[in-house]
Structure 1
Amino acid sequence: MSPEVAVHEHATLGEGPTWDMATGRLIWVDILSARVHTYEPATGRRTVMATEQHVGAAKPRAGGGLVVNLRDGVGLYGTDGAFRWLVHDAEPGRRGNDAAVAPDGALWAGTMRYDESEVGGSLTRIEPDGTATRVLPLVACSNGTGWSPDGRLMYYIDTPTRRIDVFDVDGEQVTGRRPFATVEEGAGFPDGLTVDAEGAVWVALWDGAALRRYTADGTLDRVVGLPVRRPTACAFGGPDLRDLYVSTARVGLTAPHPLSGSLLVLPDAGRGMPGTAFAG
């Protein structure tokens, strides 16, 4: 598989590609530039929206608009662009990071400290009505979250641990945290992830210039090299969910590759699963 350029961009910290089934567009963010980008592969149309604060993730809502994981909490944008807070939970030195929508429509929103201290972040489950339950309170850098095709497993990354962990899902609860796979030193750090229709887990390797695919039993199945040093996350998109989109970053690089910060795509990389829109 050879990566292609979907959107040539100089995002500082591109993150969180998400396919919006209802609109046929890909949504992704530039965290430190406080921008939400959209891209329609069928037409090439792009939009860029400024957010209230640094934005860790943006996901579609069931009724239209976006739910966003911001510096000081989780907010909602309506179809008219109007903004309101759903959960306002400001803490100096902390910001929202990666987030994902569970099969039941709840948002799992991660946080981290700007100084990336070891236990300054968390992972919180947020219901459509704004009820927030902190599930993991002692996290360094909350990143990739995803679910198995049957919804019985949840995968999760706290990047400095170098692990992809897996939980058992029982309704709204997750239990039995255990390692699913570990990224060895020198290969980069696990960042964002997506799960394909076969139950395999694709992981972007920050400082590893690659994606990895692990089969459902945790076996390393495939490594796809990328031209950029800091891929951040990946997601399947397109009308048949066969194209794998990859967000990238240029933050902290003294001599970034010309494509660092762009949105890349691996055509016909596999088959993804339809995502769930936030029910709030």
Structure 2
Amino acid sequence: MSGTGLDVAVREQAELGEGPTWDPVGGRLIWVDIVAARVHTYDPVTGLRTVMATEQHVGAAKPRAGGGLVVHLRDGIGLYGPDGAFRWLVHDREPGRRGNDGAVAPDGALWAGTMRYDGAETGGSLSRIAPDGTVTPVLPVVACGNGIGWSPDERLMYFIDTPTRRIDVFDFDGEHAVNRRPFATIEEGAGFPDGLTVDADGAVWVALWDGAAVRRYTADGSLDRVVGLPVRRPTACAFGGADLRDLYISTARTGLAAPHPLSGSLLVLPDAGHGMPGTAFAG
């Protein structure tokens, strides 16, 4: 990896590492291993790591405003308190379906995507979960509800339904996402768009599953940077560190007959750009 600036933040063999999220209060990076039902944390200053087992497969874990975590599980949305106590906020079991990616909107609501274990093209969804647990369906039919993010002015929302090979963009009014349209399309042979993050310039960074790369698209949808990776299946990316300048990249080894030794590790590209502060879940 010499010459690229890329480094290994956490050497791990996660089956399906996902959802890196910076927690500014804890000064740590939170990420999950979906199928191992584990939430990982990493402090880049001290090197301290923690691993917590969850009740079920976990698609995303985000900080809560009052401490603890909100988690997107197989059967709904769960809350961990600062003391580690668990309770369901939304319990909505549908056999064959699980929680996938999630992101907290500027107003503190959780936007959560789902998918079917068998990858059926009509088995997933995108919903908004208010802090009180009210669920509002946004896209009731998608294949794989994935990368979600907002522009710096909070007027646009980005979303990925992975098999479409597109990053889509919506107009956003603080609560509703409307007027869906393509923002960028990943060409055949370059992999599939997975998780994304938006930087302070309004550019969208996206991890390419089976594409061994992370791409940056400017606010007008133009491709302006490609970061090649040693692993085939990067899953998501997020800016972290005290100044939000380091790009963390989660990766997976699931389904690979001969995974690279770093597949499943958490990678980091120091001083990649400038991220935006996240919002904690208000529930």
State the TM-score bracket (shorter-chain normalisation).
over 0.9
Q: Which residue of 2 aligns with 1:215?
A: 218
Q: Which residue of 2 aligns with 1:159?
A: 162
Name the amino acid aligned to 1:249. Answer: A
Decide which of 215, 224, 229 is 2:227's aligned counterpart. 224
> In the alignment, is residue 191 of structure 1 matched against residue 194 of structure 2?
yes
SS in 2 for 1:86: strand
1:7-53 deviation line (CA, Å, top 9, x unaligned)? 00000000000000111000000000000000000100000000000
> In the alignment, is residue 132 of structure 1 matched against residue 127 of structure 2?
no
Rounded to whole Å, the distance in 2 between the matches of 1:134 and 1:76 is: 20
Contact 2:154 2:174 (C-alpha < 8 Å) held by counterparts: no
Rounded to whole Å, the distance in 2 between the matches of 1:258 and 1:174 is: 40
Rounded to whole Å, the distance in 2 between the matches of 1:258 and 1:172 is: 42
Q: Which residue of 2 aligns with 1:250?
A: 253
Decide which of 236, 239, 242 is 2:239's aligned counterpart. 236
SS in 1 for 2:60: strand
1:69-121 deviation line (CA, Å, top 9, x unaligned)? 00000000001110000000000000000000000000001100000100100
Rounded to whole Å, the distance in 1 between the matches of 2:109 and 2:193 is: 24
Name the amino acid aligned to 2:257. Answer: T
Percent identity (aligned): 84
Decide which of 63, 66, 82 is 1:63's aligned counterpart. 66
How far does residue 170 in structure 1 lie from its aligned partner after superposition?
A: 1.7
How far does residue 2 in structure 1 lie from its aligned partner after superposition?
A: 2.5
SS in 1 for 2:100: strand
1:107-144 deviation line (CA, Å, top 9, x unaligned)? 00110000010010000100000000010011101110
Q: Which residue of 1 aligns with 2:107?
A: 104
Rounded to whole Å, the distance in 2 between the matches of 1:205 and 1:174 is: 24
SS in 2 for 1:257: coil
> In the alignment, is residue 181 of structure 1 matched against residue 178 of structure 2?
no
Name the amino acid aligned to 1:276. Answer: T
Contact 2:108 2:131 (C-alpha < 8 Å) held by counterparts: yes
Contact 2:106 2:174 (C-alpha < 8 Å) held by counterparts: no
Decide which of 272, 276, 279 is 1:273's aligned counterpart. 276
Larger CA deviation: 100-109 vs 169-178: 169-178
Name the amino acid aligned to 1:275. Answer: G
Contact 2:215 2:225 (C-alpha < 8 Å) held by counterparts: yes
Q: Name segments (4+ residues, structure 1) moved above 3 Å.
A: none
Contact 2:19 2:101 (C-alpha < 8 Å) held by counterparts: yes
Rounded to whole Å, the distance in 1 between the matches of 2:100 and 2:9 is: 23
Name the amino acid aligned to 1:39. Answer: Y
SS in 2 for 1:160: helix
Decide which of 49, 53, 56 is 1:50's aligned counterpart. 53
Superposed counterparts of 1:25-36, under 5 Å = 25-36=28-39
How far does residue 171 in structure 1 lie from its aligned partner after superposition?
A: 3.0
SS in 1 for 2:122: coil
Report the RMSD for the aligned CA atoms in angstroms.
0.5
Larger CA deviation: 232-241 vs 170-179: 170-179
How far does residue 173 in structure 1 lie from its aligned partner after superposition?
A: 1.0
Aligned residues: 280
Contact 2:103 2:110 (C-alpha < 8 Å) held by counterparts: yes
SS in 1 for 2:19: strand
Name the amino acid aligned to 2:61. Answer: A
Rounded to whole Å, the distance in 2 between the matches of 1:189 and 1:28 is: 20
- For normalisation by structure 1, the TM-score amounts to 0.99
Structure 2 gap segments, 5+ residues each: none
Rounded to whole Å, the distance in 2 between the matches of 1:39 and 1:168 is: 34
Rounded to whole Å, the distance in 2 between the matches of 1:4 and 1:69 is: 28
Q: Which residue of 1 aligns with 2:21?
A: 18
Rounded to whole Å, the distance in 1 between the matches of 2:209 and 2:78 is: 27
Decide which of 170, 175, 200 is 1:172's aligned counterpart. 175
Structure 1 gap segments, 5+ residues each: none
